[in-house]
Each structure stands twice: as C-alpha cells, then as structure tokens.
Amino acid sequence: MSDVSVNPTADETTGPADWRVYRASGVPHDDIATLPPPPPWRAFDGAPELDRLPTTRSGPAASVARAKSYQADDRAIELVNAALYLRRPLLVTGKPGTGKSTLAHSIAYELRLGPVLTWAVTSRTTLNDGLYRYDAIGRLQEAGPIGDVTAERYDVTVGRYITLGPLGTALLPWRRPRVLLIDELDKSDIDLPNDLLHVFEEGNYEIPELARLPEEAETVEVLTVDGQRVPVQHGRVRCNAFPVVVITSNGEREFPPAFLRRCVRLDITPPREDALVRIVEALLGPDAVAASGDLVRDFVERRERTDVATDQLLNALYMVTAGATPPESTRERLTEALLRGLAAGTP
C-alpha cells in the first residue's frame, strides 16, 4: 500500500481527496457514512435494522480521554481503514502498553459509533460467553410450576432471561457498525480462534432457546450487554453493518492460518519520543511537558533495555509534575519504582 500524506486534499495530490475514513485525529465526525458498499462476499442483510444506541455518550470519561490522545502512525491508520473497507476484523499485535486496546476506543470516538463493546478473554472463555447467556434457573424460579402459567406466557417471557454478550450485541443488525474489542485473544483456549471463524465469515448466530419456540413467538425481545431491549426473529441474529472488530494479542502464541486470513493484521510498535510528548500534552497538559525535563527521553532509553509501558511514564509524570509534588529525593525514588521493568526479575 502506498504512503499517503497526513491530510491530503484534492488540490495537494494528483489523486482524489483523502480516502481514509479513520484518521486518528481525535476529532469526532460522521465520515463512516461515506464508506462504499462492502465487497459482495462481505455484504450482510440482517433485519430489522436497529439504530445506534440512544445515547450521545462515547463511553466512560477515561475512555474518551484515551481515545482523544491516541497517536497512530500512517501504517496503523491505513490498515484500520483497510479493515473498515473490507469489513474484516483487525488483529492488533504488540507488547503490553503499546495502545492496542486504546485503538478501539479511538475508532469508536472519532467515528461516533458509541461506547466500545469489550470482551476480555481468559483461558476459560468460550464462544458462547461472547454471544449470549441464558439464565434457565432464574426463568424456572420465577415461573414456578409450569402448570401455574400458560404455555404462551412461558414462551414469550423467555427473552427476559437471555442477555447478549459483547460479540452477540455487536452482531445485531445495527444501521451503523458497533465497535467490538476482543482483548488478549492469545490468552484463550486453543479452540476459540477456530470457533470464531464461522461467526466472522457468516455474520450471524443462532439462539437455540428462541429458535425452538412456536411460530406464534417468532419475535422475542432480549437484553443487550449494554442494557437495550432489542427484537430477535426466529431465534437468529444476523448483522447488517459488520462490526468494527479489534482483536488484541500480546504475541504469546500463533493463530491458525484459517483465522489469520480472515483478519487484517497490524503490528504496533511503541510510540516514538515525539508521539509520547503529544500523548503527555493531550492527557496532562502543556505544563506537564514543560516540567517533565528529560524524563520522556530517559523513558525511551530505558525502553530499549527493558519492557516498560506508556502508562508507566504517564503515572511517573503525573507524580512529578501534576500530582502530590513530593520532595526531589522522593520523586526520584518514585520515578524508579513506577518505571520498573515489566519482565520477571527486573529490579
């Protein structure tokens, strides 16, 4: 992919105006509406179409602050846009603290796609954990003996006990895509990446508890992971706009080729010194930059010797420039402690 300037215009280039929908500008806009139709093999037709969540919030204040300060290089911006155009998941690999998960918040904030749906993966996570949860025991306890309620009432109320997970919510037929963060997939059981293949390829899934209901109960309302009531028809959820899926990995294991070919892959490197300065200014203000002295440069040099993360630098800078302002000798000890390497055995 050829390089493009940061903000090209039709007058500055021989080609068309900026093709990029996401620019890592930290400024919200509605250019997601300018995306061309998806490739024929990535078009979905889920119904009924749902509007974005009825809220103007972009998520918690901390997430918004991270999103606004996010610094992405040209390659990252290009690959994010490739994933948007192709309607493919973005697999982001890099060391801890390089901003992999923050990228999802940056995309959601800039493109006005609502709060990020986050699915934190562990070694015990299964595909069903991401799709939905059915509280069968709660349903039986509230209903009491089956003879106390009509079969029709028992069928219709089943939706009250089904809560869609982050993946299940993202795959609803939203008119605009939701942003889904699948965090640290490399920590999962070995089968989970393969289990995701069909869902990513087909853009749909079935809820058996609803699919086997009689025809009179063909539409049932269920609860999304972020608290909305939405209709599900015939027990099947099919997306309309494929979600913006950001999958993070610390590179602790390899994924199968069949999974990788369905993703756009991005390797994130730690931010350079100039990018770190911009992050500090965005989060702590220009006074923090002025008062930081050589701390940013020292951090970059330290990073070449051991694993340290950007949020460690921010913690140290807050303590020495904007926080409790301890005495000089205490600040030096705190800085050393807060910038301690992440590798096991690092002093």
290 in the same domain as 199: no
Contact 93/267 with Cβ under 8 angstroms? yes
251 assigned to some structural domain: yes
Contact predicate 181/118, CB 8 Å = yes
118 plus 214 within the same structural domain = yes
What whole-number distance in Å separates Cα of residue 344 and Cα of residue 78?
Answer: 35
One-letter amino acid at 307 equals D
Using an 8 Å Cβ cutoff, are 74 and 288 in contact? no
Answer whether residue 347 is part of any domain.
Answer: no
In this structure, the answer to whether residues 235 and 292 fall within a common structural domain is no
Question: What CATH number does the domain containing 115 carry?
Answer: 3.40.50.300
User: What is the pLDDT, as a whole number, of residue 141?
Assistant: 67
Confidence of residue 294 (pLDDT cuts 50, 70, 90): confident
Of 241, 267, 293, which residue constitutes the final position of a domain?
Answer: 267
Higher pLDDT, 218 or 204: 204
Number of structural domains found in the chain = 2
Of 267, 286, 317, the one marking the end of a domain is 267
Helix axes 310-317, 328-338, angle to 10 degrees: 170
CB 83 within 8 A of CB 244: yes
| Residue 292 belongs to a domain | yes
pLDDT tens for each residue of 164-189: 999 999 999 999 999 999 999 999 99
Residues 196, 66: Cα–Cα separation, whole Å: 28
Q: Using the 3D structure, point to which of 267, 285, 312 is the last residue of a domain.
A: 267
> pLDDT averaged over the chain?
85
pLDDT at 173: 97
9 domain residue, yes or no:
no
Percent of the chain exceeding pLDDT 90 equals 52
Whether residue 175 lies inside any domain: the answer is: yes
Looking at residue 47, the DSSP 8-state letter turns out to be: S
Distance of CA 346 to the CA centre of its chain: 31
pTM for this entry: 0.85
Asked if the model's pLDDT at residue 10 lies above 80, the reply is no
pLDDT (tens digit per residue) in 53-86? 645 456 677 778 888 888 899 999 999 999 999 9
CA distance 98 to 333: 25
Print the domain residue range for 285.
273-338
- The per-residue pLDDT for 75 is 95
Same domain for 259 and 310? no
Residue 145, Cβ density class (10 Å: 0-12 exposed, 13-18 middle, ≥19 buried): exposed
> Average of pLDDT values for 228-247?
95
Q: Tens digit of pLDDT for each residue in 260-292?
A: 999 999 999 888 888 899 888 888 888 888 888
To which H or E segment does residue 65 belong?
helix 61-69
Stronger pLDDT, 332 or 40, i.e. the higher one: 40
Q: How many CA atoms lie within 13 A of 335 on its CB side?
A: 19
Q: Which tops the pLDDT comparison, 104 or 63?
A: 104
Identify whether residues 245 and 277 lie together within a single domain.
no
The phi, psi pair for 275, rounded to 5°, reads -70, -35
In a domain, 13, yes or no: no
User: In this structure, are 297 and 257 located in the same domain?
Assistant: no
Residues 330 and 211 in one domain: no
Same domain, yes or no: 142 and 243:
yes
Q: Answer yes or no: is 3 within a domain.
A: no
